[in-house]
Structure 1
């Protein structure tokens, strides 16, 4: 096991490196490449990853606490049972990434691309998904209370059994997804009805 503390790297290529079982604290990585790298069970605390490329990387079992991955690319990455606690993921792309069993505790996932992701049965209470692309995501049986989905792309999202009470749904297109089986509060129900032309008094 290795440990890096307060290190800074800019445009370094870590592609296909074996970096598993490591600990990264307060490190900064700017425009670095981790394509196909082995990062299984890596633990990051308070790290900054800016415009880094994790395409095809193995991040399964990794744990991230208070770290930021801004405008990063995770195309085809393996994030199976990884955990993100209070992380800032703004603008990152998770296209075709494996997110099965991932744990997301609070944090900011605004402007991320999570198209087709399977996030079912997760507790994502209070997470920010402002303007995130969640097209065809599986959010069945998720705890989404108090999450912020302002102007998010929710077309064809699966919400059966999900709890949306208290979630912010400003600017979403209610006609683009099915709320059957989802729990909603009164304010959301009114907004839903009005989107279909009902006059609620």
Structure 2
């Protein structure tokens, strides 16, 4: 267990951690290229202004963590959980976030571009004014999601039930409109 340390601006590129617990650490401006974190626990860690490229956080738990101005490029975050974490100005480009649990997360104005989020738990998530473009949401749990004003263009929306989410002002493409109409039981001809 690593506790109460200041890792400000540390470079964790190429590091590998298995089953490690990181508790109450400051990871402000930490960078990581190709690092691997498997089944690690992060509790009370501040990821502010940190940047990760090609890093894997598989089956990790992020409890009460802060993600302010955090960026993930082509990262693998499969099966990770984010209970009681906060997100402000989160940016995710590419990568695989399948099976993540973000239920109830406040992701307003977050950006997910070309991300695989298959079977992600996005129940009751707040995504107002967020950008989810080119994102694969196949099988994602979206019940109660607030997508007001979100940009969903190019995303896979077949599991979206328009009767269980808030979509006012969301941006979608014509093919997506047909998918949503079909999900409402309409026949598109």
TM-score bin, normalised by smaller chain: over 0.9
1:33 aligns with 2:25: no
1:149 aligns with 2:137: yes
1:198 aligns with 2:186: yes
Equivalent residue for 2:62, pick from 69, 74, 99: 74
Report the 3-state secondary structure (helix = DSSP H, G, I; strand = E; otherwise coil) of the residue aligned with 2:23.
Answer: coil
Q: Is the Cα contact below 8 Å between 2:145 and 2:165 reproduced in 1?
A: yes
RMSD of Structure 2 on Structure 1 (CA): 1.5
Q: How does 1:143-182 map to 2 (within 5 A)?
A: 143-182=131-170
Equivalent residue for 2:38, pick from 46, 50, 74: 50
Q: How does 1:12-161 map to 2 (within 5 A)?
A: 13-161=1-149
| Greater radius of gyration (CA) | 1
The structural deviation recorded for 1:121 is 2.4
Q: Is the Cα contact below 8 Å between 2:49 and 2:68 reproduced in 1?
A: yes
Distance in 2 (alpha carbons) for counterparts of 1:156 and 1:42: 34
Distance in 1 (alpha carbons) for counterparts of 2:9 and 2:113: 29
Report the 3-state secondary structure (helix = DSSP H, G, I; strand = E; otherwise coil) of the residue aligned with 2:62.
Answer: coil
What is the TM-score when the length of structure 2 is the normalising length? Answer: 0.92
Q: Is the Cα contact below 8 Å between 1:175 and 1:195 reproduced in 2?
A: no
Aligned partner of 1:187 in structure 2 is: 175
Distance in 2 (alpha carbons) for counterparts of 1:166 and 1:58: 32
Unaligned runs of 5+ in 1: 1-12
More strand by share: 2
Unaligned runs of 5+ in 2: none
Q: Is the Cα contact below 8 Å between 1:35 and 1:54 reproduced in 2?
A: yes
